[in-house]
Each structure stands twice: as C-alpha cells, then as structure tokens.
C-alpha cells in the first residue's frame, strides 16, 4: 500500500518542521512516546488525538482525553468529538502546535511563482561608509547649533546617544528576525536605519534651503509628510527581514503605519496652532547669496500684515479670565513685597 496521507508539523512562520508519511491507519498524535507522532508541547495531552479511517474509507480526526481540545480550521473540538476530513487539506492545532493533514486524494494547489528574495547579507565597507556619513552629519549639525566652548562635550554626548539609539533599535529588530527566521540580519537592519537617518537629514536640509531660496514655505511647513514616508519605507524594509515571504502583509502594515502617522501628525499640529502645517513660518535662514526669489519691500510687507490686524484686535479685546487677573494681582503684590 502506498502513502495514504502526509501529516506535517509547522513552525510559527508556516515552514515545515517535521513530516510524517502515513502508510496505515490509525495515526496517534500526542506527547507520549507510544504515539506515531510525538509532540514536544506542554499543552498537548499524552494521547491528544487520532487520525483514522472508517469502513467506507472516510478519514476523521478523533479527539482524545485532553483538556485543551483540538482546533481544525475554525472549528473547536472537545474531548471525544470527531471531525471528518473533507476535500481539502486540514489545518489542525493541538496545544500550541500547528499541523497540516493532506490526504493522497487531495488535489494539489497550483505551483506558485517564486518571488525574488532580498539579499540580507551586507558588505562591511558599505556599513562603514554609512556609519562615517552619519557621524559627519551629527558632527556638522552639532557644530552649527553649539557654542565653541561646549562643542567637544556636546559632540561626545550626541555621538554616544546616536550609537545607543542605533544599537537598541537594530538589536530589537535583530531579535525579531532571529525569532521568526532563525537569522538575525543585524547588518541589514543597521543599513536600513543608517540610510533612513541620512535621508531624513538630507530631506530637512534640502527642504529648508529650497524653501528659503524660492520662498516656498510649504516645503518646511509640510515636511512631516515625506518624513513619515521615509519612516514607513524603513519599517517595510525592517519587516522584510522578519517576514521575508509575506510581502503583502509587510506592505500593508507599512502603508497602515504611514496613514496612522500622518493622521496623528496632522491632528497634533491642528491642536497646537489650528493648522495642518508643522510650523507657522520658516525657521531656517541662510545667507542672502542663496536667495533666488525676488525680495519684498518694507511697504509691501506691512501691507500683507493688514489682514491680521482685525483678528489681533479682536483677540486683544477678549475678556480675560478673572482667575488669571487675581493671579496677576497676587503676583504684583508679591513682587512689591
């Protein structure tokens, strides 16, 4: 007699961990060594379930003496219950172990096209260049924003902070990759993060420089949109090393994170200053030599401020909170003392 069925024990990612060819019925599954398939799962009974065939060659799953029962597809079976196998392979869950039962008469699904797998191994030279570029970026921005006396201490502090953030972030993703794929892919996660940091730094510089040169204040006012897009792309690339065979899931998760991030960012900006923009005016000023757009005369600038006068007058005419007035009066008395 040939092979009657195939029972496969699956990992959490769906890959086959153990395969058992069924040459005769019944097949007993459980933790006891007397079983045909032994499961090392503390949530599985000694004789958890049996797969057997009746006289008319119908195959069924019979649940043994177990507290947790058996789940077949979406149906929960308690101890003593039976479930007859249909025309398709059955997904069986016993305890925390997933199994797949496929009979010889089950029709095979069509072959799936093999998608190109991403190469996660990274060249040390590429990673070294990314580390150096990020250090130069942090050093340059720190130099621009720090007094000369405090520069050495601030450089060391910012460098150590960057190293700690990168190691913690990449370490967490490496642990996830190890759990799901048995490979850490630390170099891949390091490359993704360092590239994303450089892209964010370059985006901020280009947006502020072009905004200043062309008087396009919207470039910096809505810069959080491309920033969220870069973060979502980095999240997608990180997930590729955790779930390399579930492209649709990783893409959907990244797009959902992007939409959620944009919604939260827009809501926060509206709560702060009743505008979807991240800033009300351009905060980065460059030397006049970078200016391309035509300048505005003082009279024209004052003219443009005229529409704001009425709104400011109305705001100033609003009655103040009596509690605030009492507080101000008490503060004046205290200061007079």
pLDDT tens digits, 6-59 = 999 998 767 788 899 999 999 999 999 999 999 999 999 999 999 999 877 789
According to the model, what pLDDT value does residue 333 have? 47
- The three-class DSSP label of residue 216 is coil
Sign for the CA dihedral angle at 143, 145, 150, 156 comes to negative
Give the pLDDT score at 102.
93
Q: Which residues of the chain have pLDDT under 70?
A: 1, 13, 114-117, 320-337
User: Whole-angstrom Cα distance, residue 201 to residue 209?
Assistant: 12
Residue count of the chain, please give it.
337
Question: 254 in helix, strand or coil?
Answer: helix
DSSP 3-state of 87: coil
State residue 330's pLDDT score: 53
Domain boundaries, the chain: 5-103, 124-273
Q: How far apart are CA 129 and CA 287, in angstroms?
A: 30
Residue 16's pLDDT is what?
A: 86
Q: What's the pLDDT score for residue 337? A: 44
Tell me what pLDDT residue 281 has: 77
Residue 307 DSSP symbol: H
Which tens digit of pLDDT belongs to each residue from 232-243?
A: 999 999 999 998
Does domain 5-103 match CATH 2.60.200.20? yes
- pLDDT of the residue at 115: 67
Q: What is the mean pLDDT of the chain?
A: 87
pLDDT at 17 (0 to 100): 87
**By 3-state DSSP, what share of the chain in percent is helix, strand and coil, each rounded to 5?**
50, 15, 35
């Amino acid at each position: 007699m040939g092979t009657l069925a195939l029972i496969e024990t699956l990992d959490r990612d769906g890959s086959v961990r153990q395969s058992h060819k069924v040459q005769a019925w019944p097949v007993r599954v459980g933790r006891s060594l007397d079983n045909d398939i032994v499961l090392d799962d503390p949530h599985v009974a000694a004789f958890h379930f049996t797969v057997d065939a009746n006289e008319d060659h119908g195959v069924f799953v019979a649940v043994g003496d177990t507290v947790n029962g058996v789940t077949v597809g979406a149906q929960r079976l308690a101890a003593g219950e039976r479930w007859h196998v249909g025309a398709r392979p059955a997904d069986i869950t016993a305890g925390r172990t997933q199994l797949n039962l496929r009979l010889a008469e089950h029709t095979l699904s069509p072959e799936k096209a093999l998608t190109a797998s991403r190469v996660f191994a990274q060249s040390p030279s590429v990673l070294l260049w990314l580390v150096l570029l990020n250090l130069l970026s942090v050093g340059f921005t720190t130099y621009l924003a720090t007094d000369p006396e405090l520069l050495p201490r601030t450089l060391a502090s910012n460098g150590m902070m960057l190293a700690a953030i990168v190691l913690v972030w990449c370490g967490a993703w490496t642990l996830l990759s190890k759990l799901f794929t048995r490979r850490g892919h630390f170099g891949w996660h390091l490359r993704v993060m360092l590239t994303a940091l450089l892209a964010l730094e370059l985006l901020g510089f280009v947006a502020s420089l072009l905004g200043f040169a062309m008087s396009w204040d919207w470039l910096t006012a809505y810069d959080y949109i491309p920033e969220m897009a870069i973060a979502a792309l980095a999240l997608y690339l990180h997930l590729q090393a955790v779930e390399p065979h579930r492209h649709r899931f990783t893409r959907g998760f990244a797009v959902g994170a992007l939409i959620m991030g944009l919604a939260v960012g827009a809501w926060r900006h509206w709560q702060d200053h009743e505008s979807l923009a991240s800033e009300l005016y351009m905060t980065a000023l460059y030397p006049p030599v970078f200016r391309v757009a035509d300048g505005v005369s003082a009279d024209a600038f004052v003219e443009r401020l005229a529409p704001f006068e009425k709104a400011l007058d109305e705001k100033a005419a609003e009655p103040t909170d009596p509690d605030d007035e009492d507080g101000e009066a008490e503060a004046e008395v205290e200061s007079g003392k």
